[in-house]
């Protein structure tokens, strides 16, 4: 079969691009090296798939910390409203939740995967389960893809191989190799939306598994007063440090941890001012006057946090509550309002939700996703050096870049 286009990667961007191409009459094949398409898509949003954000294109750009301008045309051409119409048009009803996050009403990411794969099959996309090994280049233009099982020739090749995070889903970073094969620059590959390793990891390990549902987490760069990030939400203690939604979101605001130092401060009682918290502690203490300090925090804190806070407060655990001084109490309040951790690094990129870095965007036409270095070659989705905060923005990047590429090629 003669093909107009070979798409490498049957993930969010690749499948979407192939559907759009085939719907416009192009003969497209998707090469996927896992035994099914959309393995990463199926685990997005904790299995619920936060498929986009119900906002305008400009708001998406404001949620892209690196290279937002590159996304301008793609988002003008295909905005979140278009993503929502697309999936609803495929028979997947959607709902909008807190912060504009859009999910399928079924809360099942598999419904999104199934809809995309079915749309691809219905439109006549050929899905080939094989591993792309190398681009075939002739006279400075791409001419196809060499796979483990054979060669696929086409005048257009789209690299939609994703990044390097969660490699078990298939995104093993092969796209960077294809980019380098054609002279493209690949910027440093690191993690974003990633758990954090703390200097106080032993303390975190003691609280391992503890999830705080209603705390405020603020991220600071050393030497700066204003937090880089501060939000109310949920976080988790782990054996190496900190994880959970707030921590992942905060990590996207960090630079290179080898060059800059960061701390996070956790406000365990964000609904109370220091004064209100002090009054609350006084009330608790009055009921426990003869208890030891370490046994007086049961109403205030989850059990796993008590030894940590006792130690950090500097008050002896066996001190009688009625002997605790006002200044000791105020130190306790300070600990509860700003439980501080020093961040040593992020966890490895394998454990990140998103890869930071990728194919340098100045070498890609932002209106078409075409390579400026090799005719017929395109890059879409996470393989590009663009990444966003949480909220459905990363999948929107995949769909918008895929759309630009398909519209241009067709
Ligand atoms: C746990 C988790 C949760 C997430 N949740 C969300 C969320 O709720 N909302 C959101 O917006 N984003 C979320 N993301 C990010 C989102 O999944 C990615 O941004 C998106 O999948 C990127 O799409 P892509 O098509 O570029 O890459 P991928 O979806 O990774 O697809 C790449 C495909 O290429 C294939 N491939 C790679 N190399 C080859 C090769 N050599 N030959 C053949 N095939 C190859 C892979 O097997 C894969 O199927 C989440 C990510 C993770 C890890």
Query: Which of 34, 133, 170 has the most ligand 1 atoms within 8 A of CB, as the residue to mutate?
Result: 170
Helix or strand holding residue 140 (H, E): none
Q: Which residues of the chain have pLDDT under 50?
A: none
* Contact 252 CB / ligand 1 (< 6 Å): no
First to last CA, the chain: 18
* Contact 14 CB / ligand 1 (< 6 Å): yes
Q: Which residues pair with 216 in a beta bridge?
A: 232, 267
Question: Which residue is closest in CA terms to ligand 1's atom 3?
Answer: 44
**CA-based max dimension of the chain:** 86
Helix or strand holding residue 329 (H, E): helix 326-337
Between CA 160 and CA 15 the distance in angstroms is: 9
Report the pLDDT value the prediction gives residue 1, as an integer from 0 to 100. Answer: 66
**Is the distance from CB of 102 to CB of 51 less than 8 angstroms?**
yes
Query: Which of 7, 126, 252, 353 has the most ligand 1 atoms within 8 A of CB, as the residue to mutate?
Result: 353
Report the pLDDT value the prediction gives residue 290, as an integer from 0 to 100. Answer: 85
Give the number of the atom of ligand 1 that is nearest the alpha carbon of residue 14. Answer: 25
Strands 126-129 and 28-32: parallel
* Contact 32 CB / ligand 1 (< 6 Å): yes
Give the number of the atom of ligand 1 that is nearest the alpha carbon of residue 165. Answer: 53
How many C-alpha atoms does 116 have within 13 Å on its Cβ side? 25
Between CA 282 and CA 129 the distance in angstroms is: 66
pTM to 2 decimals? 0.93
Strands 52-53 and 150-153: unpaired
Report the pLDDT value the prediction gives residue 288, as an integer from 0 to 100. Answer: 87
**All domains in the chain, ordered by first residue:** 5-190+354-409 (3.50.50.60), 195-346 (1.10.8.50)
Phi and psi, residue 270, nearest 5°? -65, -20
* Contact 16 CB / ligand 1 (< 6 Å): no
Between CA 168 and CA 63 the distance in angstroms is: 27
* Contact 354 CB / ligand 1 (< 6 Å): yes
Give the number of the atom of ligand 1 that is nearest the alpha carbon of residue 49. Answer: 8
Report the pLDDT value the prediction gives residue 151, as an integer from 0 to 100. Answer: 96
Between CA 360 and CA 188 the distance in angstroms is: 10
Report the pLDDT value the prediction gives residue 155, as an integer from 0 to 100. Answer: 97
Question: Which residue is closest in CA terms to ligand 1's atom 19?
Answer: 394
Between CA 62 and CA 57 the distance in angstroms is: 9
Report the pLDDT value the prediction gives residue 289, as an integer from 0 to 100. Answer: 81
Given CA atoms 362, 180, 3, 30 in this order, what sign does their dihedral have? Answer: negative
């Amino acid at each position: 079969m003669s093909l107009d286009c070979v798409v490498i990667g049957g993930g969010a961007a690749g499948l979407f691009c192939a559907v759009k191409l085939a719907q416009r009459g192009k003969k497209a094949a998707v090469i996927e090296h896992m035994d099914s398409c959309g393995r990463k898509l199926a685990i997005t949003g904790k299995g619920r798939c936060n498929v986009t954000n119900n906002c305008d294109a400009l708001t998406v750009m404001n949620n892209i910390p690196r290279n937002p301008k590159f996304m301008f045309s793609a988002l003008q051409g295909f905005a979140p409203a278009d993503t929502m119409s697309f999936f609803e048009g495929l028979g997947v009803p959607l709902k909008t939740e807190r912060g504009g996050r859009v999910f399928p009403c079924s809360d099942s990411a598999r419904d999104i995967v199934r809809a995309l794969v079915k749309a691809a099959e219905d439109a006549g996309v050929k899905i080939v389960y094989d591993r792309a090994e190398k681009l075939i280049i002739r006279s400075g233009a791409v001419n196809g893809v060499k796979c483990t099982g054979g060669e696929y020739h086409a005048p257009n090749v789209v690299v939609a191989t994703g990044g390097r995070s969660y490699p078990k889903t298939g995104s093993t970073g092969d796209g960077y190799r294809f980019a380098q094969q054609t002279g493209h620059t690949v910027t440093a590959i690191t993690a974003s939306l990633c758990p954090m390793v703390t200097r106080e990891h032993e303390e975190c390990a003691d609280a391992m598994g503890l999830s705080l549902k209603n705390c405020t987490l603020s991220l600071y760069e050393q030497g700066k007063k204003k937090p880089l990030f501060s939000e109310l939400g949920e976080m988790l203690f782990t054996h190496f440090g900190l994880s959970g939604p707030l921590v992942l979101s905060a990590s996207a605001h960090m630079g290179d941890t080898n060059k800059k130092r960061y701390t996070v401060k956790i406000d365990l009682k964000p609904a109370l001012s220091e004064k209100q918290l002090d009054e609350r502690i006084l009330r608790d203490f009055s009921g426990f006057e003869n208890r030891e300090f370490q046994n007086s925090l049961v109403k205030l804190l989850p059990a796993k946090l008590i030894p940590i806070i006792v130690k950090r407060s500097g008050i002896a655990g066996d001190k009688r509550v009625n002997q605790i001084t006002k200044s000791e109490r105020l130190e306790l309040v300070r600990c509860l309002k700003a439980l501080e951790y020093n961040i040593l690094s992020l966890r490895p990129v394998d454990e990140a939700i998103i890869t930071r870095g990728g194919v340098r965007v100045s070498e890609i036409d932002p209106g078409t996703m075409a390579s400026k270095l090799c005719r017929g070659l395109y890059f879409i989705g996470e393989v590009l050096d663009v990444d966003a905060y949480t909220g459905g923005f990363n999948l929107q990047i995949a769909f918008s870049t895929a759309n630009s590429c398909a519209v241009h090629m067709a």
